A and B are shown apart, each in its own frame.
Chain A
């Protein structure tokens, strides 16, 4: 299967499941009033973060968005550190100063997530520029949504990434909605990937619900970037099951639309595939699921038991 061994396939599956169950559990805790502020959740889009990050080395980097939990888990931030950050605890990956929208961990190659739509893309270029000038063969992936591609940052950044031939891959998670606005209201194109042609780089449209397709196309784009051949824009068609953020009941979408996408659920699809390939059976699936649940509970308990931040750290880290 695309050079992927059984172990790697199961790892992809487990990671997708981790993201899904983590997000579901976090949402419960949020409803119980245990998590401050708001949440932008990743259920439905798991195949993208997992399929792309599976291609990357530990010293490759990613930039993320206001919806970063999936990217964080896929790039390898320990769930304890993510959960603690969501709870606003000092043991969080950003010492309780980032929160849900700014999850990041430099040590595993994830910059603090950038919650201004589109703004991470020019910064990803800079990371790539450093790799290029130092000839390190590292690559950076910039994740962003469909909404970002209507922002000037996207256009300036794709043009600059193209002219400098930077080792960067632009991954657009097209979930068809910018907050409550459907993409058809704000874009004449059917495919965002067409915008790549304006900058002279390849643009590819893929099924963002199929982790193996994501993995395959990301492999090509990352190799291309690593070999000094420049950026690629990958558009992954996907769907977010939740509203834009926790307070959003998503009344602007039809039930049928949601059901359609849920019928193509990335985890269900991949599980079926693994069953067909005799890599997974009910017993093994149960085992993986309970393992993931244990890890999540451990992370949640860690977060709950962690101390609140001492007040004086609010005044630290402004300047280096």
Chain B
């Protein structure tokens, strides 16, 4: 075990997988430039030095080209880990992601596989509306894609390994405020997050949620940054004798419904906290699932605490207002337990 930041844990997963399998290559902007950054959040630092620029491939600012070249390489049996600098830029490559990566296997009648990982930094971090969205939920309604969203360094390393070894296109969302990047690339307002991470090889299977805190009065489902806010809220409520169970789904597709339903049947209440917008969002999907499978167990209406349906504003004061805070989580839970 050693203590790593999220950025370090992701880097370690990439390094170990690249050492293990020569088919693993990295493709993205500013990822292997000598004297550069190692990607926008330092994740790929040092990898070009170890693996060379044949396997750490710097690209033009061409998101369509990046995802397309990764798809083609994946079809031929390489295992590309491509990246965009901000998940907002996934929209630039939307055709390649939604029409190509997600569908080529199906359209071919199962002739081909696309073992591709697409890493994408998500979440609002004081940059204004075009570098701030939380898009992981949106990609869950495109069959053919898997969607992963780790919240801790341990999960990030283990889930990235599984994603790289998976034979399908996986969108791997990393929250900017959880990276723990240092120096000039440090994020203001970031969570101080160091986690115990095994030095030996381990992988966390996709589709298995993790109960980050056990509780009995209410279930809270949250991911990425919202998971940490939910945990802080739970800790504070604990002082008043309110026992909150906090579930991190860790992967959105495939989704571990069972863990959520089981928890709801125990606590009889559920709050979903999500940085994605509310309307038509991921929280609604969780909510519907609970209604379908455990409605009779509910003692209170399901609540969704999501980012307001607005583009993310620039001012830190406004940004903080539109995204669920620890205080709002606490208040909502109190109301639900009324």
Please give the residue numbers on chain A whose beta carbons come within 8 Å of chain B beta carbons, in ascending order.
92-98, 102, 104-107, 111-112, 114, 116, 119, 121-131, 133, 140, 152-153, 156-157, 159-160, 163-164, 316-320
Contacts of A112 in B (CB 8 A): 104, 107-108, 111-112
> Looking across the interface, which residue of chain B has its beta carbon closest to that of A168?
B72
Bound complex: CA of A94 vs CA of B110, how far in Å? 8
**B95 CB-CB contact with A under 8 Å:** yes
Cβ-defined contact, B71 with A123, below 8 A: yes
Q: Among the interface residues A102, A156, A157, A163, which one has the most CB atoms of the partner chain B within 10 A?
A: A156
Q: Among the interface residues A93, A114, A316, which one has the most CB atoms of the partner chain B within 10 A?
A: A114
Please give the residue numbers on chain B whose beta carbons come within 8 Å of chain A beta carbons, in ascending order.
25, 54-55, 57, 59-60, 62, 64-65, 67-78, 80, 95-96, 99-100, 104-115, 143-144, 146, 167-168
Bound complex: CA of A156 vs CA of B70, how far in Å? 13
Q: Among the interface residues A131, A157, A160, which one has the most CB atoms of the partner chain B within 10 A?
A: A160
Cβ-defined contact, B168 with A160, below 8 A: no
Bound complex: CA of A122 vs CA of B100, how far in Å? 11
Partner of B108, one of A94, A122, A156, A159: A94
> Looking across the interface, which residue of chain B has its beta carbon closest to that of A160?
B65
Contacts of B167 in A (CB 8 A): 319-320
Cβ-defined contact, B168 with A129, below 8 A: no
Contacts of B107 in A (CB 8 A): 94, 97-98, 102, 104, 112
The 9 residue pairs across chains A and B that have the minimum distance between CB atoms? A126-B72, A122-B68, A95-B109, A130-B76, A156-B65, A317-B110, A320-B167, A156-B62, A94-B109
> With A102-B108, A317-B110 in contact, do A126 and B64 touch (Cβ < 8 Å)?
no
Contacts of B25 in A (CB 8 A): 133
> With A126-B68, A126-B74, A156-B62 in contact, do A116 and B110 touch (Cβ < 8 Å)?
no
Bound complex: CA of A275 vs CA of B57, how far in Å? 53
Contacts of B144 in A (CB 8 A): 318-319
Bound complex: CA of A27 vs CA of B144, how far in Å? 33
Bound complex: CA of A273 vs CA of B337, how far in Å? 88
Q: Among the interface residues B55, B68, B80, which one has the most CB atoms of the partner chain A within 10 A?
A: B68
Partner of A163, one of B60, B80, B113, B146: B60
